[in-house]
Amino acid sequence: MDDKTTRRIEKWLDGAYDQETKKEIKRLQKSDPKALEDAFYCDLEFGTGGMRGILGVGTNRMNKYTVGAAAQGIANFLKATVAGTSKIVISFDSRIQSDEFAQISADIFSANGIKTYLFDGIRPTPELSFAVRELQCNAGVMITASHNPKEYNGYKVYGDDGGQLVAPYDRQVMDEVQKVTDIDQIQWKRNPKLVTIIGSKIDEIYLKKVRALSLHIPKSERAKNMKIVYTPLHGTGIALVPEALRRYGFTNVTIVEPQAIPDGTFPTVVYPNPEEHEALKLALQKADEIQADLVLATDPDADRVGIAVRNADGEMQLLNGNQTATLLFNYVLENKLQGDHKIKNPYVVKTIVTTDLLRDIALDYNIECYEVLTGFKYIAETIRQHEQQATYLVGGEESYGYLVGDFVRDKDAVSACCLIAEMAACYMITHRGNHKLLTEVLDDIYYRYGVYQEGLLSLTKKGQDGLNEIRLMMEKFRTHPPQNIARVEVVKMHDVQLQKYFDYRYGTNGPLNLPLSNVLQFFLKDGSKVTVRPSGTEPKIKFYFSVTARAKRRSEVKLVKEELQRKIAVLKEAMLAF
């Protein structure tokens, strides 16, 4: 254990920390010194979107002291940048200690003279984003670790536009948080006069906005009676999603009861992530039991949604984030831009690791498709930059996050659930008098624009050694980029950290119009693309794969998809061997 880590531990043992915390430190000293070192070897990073970490004692853990320092830093930022009394709104999910961290934050903000709105119970992240704008707040805080395992919690910070902080404000807040080096700098005592509890009134305003997004409310009894299975995966979605679906007219929604109870231990799943097949196991079982048409699963803070649909073979088929985004983009543009529409400069937004099929669909409708860095805050930033001169329609990312309309400035699984259900009903039951499954609609899109398939490889590297390993891997890819991947020539590389592209075909390079980020992209001669980046929220390095090919006939789409999946498998093996 190095001297810096030892000094951090001694500071907690000697300082004004509670006895329970000191007792746990002493226990770890005797029973698990390696865990103690990991808990103190660094400060839990307060990054560009807040912080996320394992619960427990220590400077590298989520606890009341690290949360307190974050809240005090945010308060100091608001006091330095906002004239007069500033306002903030706080929400929280069902995770362990989320309620406690929300209360502590309200204590600290109000103690610093900040008008504080606190939700009366768990609420989804998109409602927090909405509330920032609705209540005209200067900032917002959401206590959540999204889809991370039960050992984690987190702290998302939002600006006055309802989007997560971006430059330069993210850096300014980070600097203020880092200045809080002692718990004696934190004002802990709540001013109850400055704390207002909110709840049902904001719910109602938000739900009305969600309802107004409808493009084609199902009117037939058959459409309204479409069988939907919904699971909130023990999270916040239970607070709003069933009611939102009811307002869209859906009368046959079955909730997965064992997962309807908010519970931060997530007792029925290994990993509360709708991207994972295992997380949807109970929902899929229920869907087969009642012969449902659609499964919807939201993550703990209900900003992302995973879906499964019944295919032509009568089986429930999981769709990935790119596939759902493709269907949703197509549905929105098909309904919004038909005929002589009056929408002013419509546009859509995708991230750089999301399928390029979204760009091709936008091009077909002759509208702009902006491409931004990974992270929905960059989609929110694009909305803010263009809201005076253009109209945002829909945005999405491959990690199951979607947003239609702009009254929320983060991904929104509540409205996405409603629009996905509406889309399914319209295509499956009422689409121009034809019965069409969403899997068939997707293949139609592939035949029209080209078949795209995507893959993801995530390597988990925990602890200090893991962080160093990820850093060295990125350094190797950057300084010795592959000339070939799976025997296919690399023709171009984007280094977003250097903000430069390198075109090997012509020996040229130039600037990239993207913010600084530790991301590398390799473009292959056959149209394939490989993106490499460290995760911003988990101890992982991620590899994103995109491959594409044309199907000469509609009947060949399935074969082309299978061939592309084999190609992705080969690319994964090649990157692992690099």
Q: Is residue 108 part of a domain?
A: yes
Q: Which DSSP symbol is given to 47?
A: B
Which of 429, 449, 469 is the C-terminal boundary of a domain? 449
552-577 pLDDT, tens digit per residue, is 999 999 999 999 999 999 999 999 98
Residue 320: per-residue pLDDT: 96
Nearest-angstrom CA–CA distance, 225 and 265 = 34
Residue 291: per-residue pLDDT: 96
Q: Is residue 212 part of a domain?
A: no
For residue 548, pLDDT over 80 is answered with yes
381-398 pLDDT, tens digit per residue, is 999 999 999 999 999 999
**Nearest residue to 446 via CA among 308, 562, 317, 350:** 562
429 and 504 share one domain: no
Q: Is residue 217 part of a domain?
A: no
Model confidence at 461, in pLDDT bands (50, 70, 90)?
A: confident
**491: which residues sit within 8 A by CB, 6+ positions away?**
503, 504, 505, 523, 524, 525
Segments forming the whole domain that contains residue 26: 1-34
Average pLDDT score over residue span 504-531: 94
306 and 420 share one domain: yes
251 and 341 share one domain: yes
For residue 431, pLDDT over 50 is answered with no
Q: Is residue 186 part of a domain?
A: yes
Which of 449, 472, 506 is the C-terminal boundary of a domain? 449
Average pLDDT score over residue span 112-136: 98
Nearest-angstrom CA–CA distance, 151 and 21 = 17
Q: Is residue 342 part of a domain?
A: yes
CATH code of the domain covering residue 271:
3.40.120.10
DSSP H or E segment with residue 401: strand 401-404
232 and 291 share one domain: yes
442 and 543 share one domain: no
Residue 547: per-residue pLDDT: 97
Average pLDDT score over residue span 134-146: 97
488 and 419 share one domain: no
* Residue carrying the six token digits 């449902």: 292
Average pLDDT score over residue span 96-106: 98
**388: which residues sit within 8 A by CB, 6+ positions away?**
none
Which of 205, 237, 269 is the C-terminal boundary of a domain? 205
Average pLDDT score over residue span 36-61: 91
Provide the mean pLDDT of the chain: 94
27 and 57 share one domain: no
Q: Is residue 47 part of a domain?
A: yes
Model confidence at 435, in pLDDT bands (50, 70, 90)?
A: confident
Nearest-angstrom CA–CA distance, 362 and 347 = 8
363 and 463 share one domain: no
Nearest-angstrom CA–CA distance, 574 and 578 = 6
201 and 274 share one domain: no
49 and 186 share one domain: yes
Tokens encoding 4: 């810096």
205-232 pLDDT, tens digit per residue, is 999 999 999 998 776 777 889 999 999 9
Residue 329: per-residue pLDDT: 98
Q: For 77-91, 274-288, 439-453, 533-547, which range has the lowest pLDDT when averaged over its residues? A: 533-547
Q: What is the pTM of this model?
A: 0.93
**Nearest residue to 412 via CA among 127, 121, 139:** 127
The residue count of the chain comes to: 578
Q: Is residue 93 part of a domain?
A: yes
Nearest-angstrom CA–CA distance, 504 and 493 = 8
Q: Is residue 422 part of a domain?
A: yes
* Edge-first strand listing for the sheet containing 401-404: 368-372, 346-351, 391-397, 401-404
3-class DSSP state of 225: coil
For residue 430, pLDDT over 60 is answered with no
Question: Per the omega criterion (within 30 degrees of 0), is the bond before 168 cis?
Answer: yes
Average pLDDT score over residue span 288-313: 96
Check residues 538 and 327 and name the one with the higher pLDDT. Answer: 327
436 and 460 share one domain: no
Q: Which residues are catalytic?
A: 146
| Phi, psi dihedral angles at 143 (to 5 degrees) | -85, 105
Percent of all residues in the chain with a pLDDT value above 90, rounded to a whole number: 88
373 and 294 share one domain: yes
Q: What is the number of structural domains in the chain?
A: 4
Residue 338: per-residue pLDDT: 82
Nearest-angstrom CA–CA distance, 421 and 248 = 9
**Nearest residue to 65 via CA among 184, 229, 199:** 184
CATH code of the domain covering residue 483:
3.30.310.50
Nearest-angstrom CA–CA distance, 520 and 485 = 14
